[in-house]
Amino acid sequence: MSENQSRRSFLQNLGVGLGTTAAAFTVPSLVSIPEPKPKYEGKKLGIALVGLGSYAKNQLAVGLEQTPNCYLAGIVTGTPSKAEEWMKKYNIPKKNVYNYQTFDQIADNKDIDIVYVVLPNSMHPEFVIRAAKAGKHVMCEKPMANSVKECEDMIKACKDAGVQLGVGYRMHFEPFTKEIIRMSREKVFGEVKFINSNFGFTIGDPTQWRLKKAMAGGGPLMDVGVYCVQGARYVTGKEPLAVTAQFGPITDPSRFKDVEESLSWQFDFPDAVTVNGFTSYKTNIEQLYITYEKGFVQLSPAYSYGPIKGRTSKGELNLPIVHHQANMLEAIAREFLETKMFPSHISGEEGLKDMKYLTAIYEAAQTGKRIQLA
């Protein structure tokens, strides 16, 4: 598939089901109650979570309790006490519980259709590749890995095994995000002119893996900056041409001895669109602001669990608040059950593109040079 075809496919698939009208611009009044969905009677996909950290526990497992077409079928953990806790809480049979040494036996488990890797970044390649060799379809958290080469290896392993590889781009399924994509595609306010995209927070525990480069691949850019890179890409529907970047000052040397504390970057996109990005582990900030020829759109919060809030130059956005992970997993399972494919806009190839841009941002910051991307 050519780059243009791939881009069109991304936009078409991402825009499916937007279904919003001018009502999205109304000032919020009473919260609308969605009509109940018909009871789902079809096949349910079994999902096994690999790694039972906070994201798996507080987001994915909770989301899976709300999905009609997929469920938590198994777990993989190196902590026996967690295994016991999860087995009891989610009624998971002992045969569907693995540790990191016995993981490959998952190949023989017909209850599990999809393995979802929710480990530190450095561990993604090993377990995605092992899952593929076990014949299981794979979802992986973002960023896919710590290097472009690792992403390429993961994609190849899944292709060789004939299994699907997806990346956990939950914002692609979130109503406010889908609405700003629609408005950009349909040029509701004219052409996109400028994007400001920021995501940072004050990080806690100084011993956590996110502050260790070997495990995380970097600091806030790898953790939450990837959302800002994604935001620029899905708003414009295009790929950046060049990037410049700058590391921020280190104000806490003991905490940030291995990874950056903050980082700013500037993308040049086609059609003279400029994107300013910023990410930090010492600044609480989160917004996606888009300037068009004839107006603006702002999401703030824009990327976290929210609830997402939005406004435009015509007024506030009044859209459904959803559980991000439940929404994402239900949509992925629905498409897979219908087509045997994951949505193309969450593919491993999309994750690889992001990894190339993250790598280029680091190179630009380290060298002080403008890095050509296309």
CA atoms within 13 A of residue 137's CA, in its CB half-sphere: 20
Per-residue pLDDT tens digits for 300-331: 999 999 899 999 999 999 999 999 999 999 99
Taken in order 148, 154, 157, 160, is the CA torsion positive or negative?
negative
Q: Are residues 129 and 246 in the same domain?
A: no
Q: Work out whether strand 114-117 and strand 45-50 pair parallel, antiparallel, or are unpaired.
A: parallel
Catalytic residue among 142, 178, 282, 353: 142
297: in domain: yes
Domain-embedded: residue 34: no
Share of the chain above pLDDT 70, in %: 90
Indicate if the pLDDT at residue 80 is higher than 60: yes
Whether residue 21 is predicted with pLDDT greater than 60 in this model: the reply is no
Residue 335 domain flag = no
Give me the number of domains the chain comprises.
Answer: 2
Give CA–CA dist 185/296, Å, rounded. Answer: 14
Residue 264 has pLDDT above 90, yes or no: yes
Same domain flag for 69 and 177 = no
On average, the pLDDT of the chain sits at: 92
* 79 in a structural domain: yes
CATH code for the domain in which residue 233 is found = 3.30.360.10
Active-site entry in 98, 227, 281, 357: 227
- Domain coverage including residue 178: 171-321+348-372
What residues does 76 pair with on adjacent strands?
50, 98
Asked if residue 317 belongs to a domain, the reply is yes
Residue 139 lies in a domain: yes
Same-domain pairing of 232 and 114:
no
Cβ atoms of 185 and 273 closer than 8 Å: no
Same domain, 203 and 305: yes
In this predicted model, what pLDDT tens digit does every residue of 88-115 receive, in sequence order?
A: 999 999 999 999 999 999 999 999 999 9
**Whether residue 142 lies in the annotated active site:** yes
Same domain (yes/no): 94, 149:
yes
Nearest to 74 by CA among 43, 57, 97, 54: 97
pLDDT digits (tens, 9 = 90+) for 144-161: 999 999 999 999 999 999
186-238 confidence digits (pLDDT tens) = 999 999 999 999 999 999 999 999 999 999 999 999 999 999 999 999 999 99
Active site residue 90: no
* 240 located within any domain: yes
The pLDDT value given to residue 14 = 55
- Are 66 and 204 within one domain? no
Is position 263 within any domain? yes
Same domain assignment for residues 222 and 365: yes
Nearest to 324 by CA among 21, 16, 55, 51: 55
Q: Do 72 and 151 sit in the same domain of this protein? A: yes
At 5, is the pLDDT very low, low, confident or very high (cuts 50, 70, 90)? very low
CATH number at residue 136: 3.40.50.720
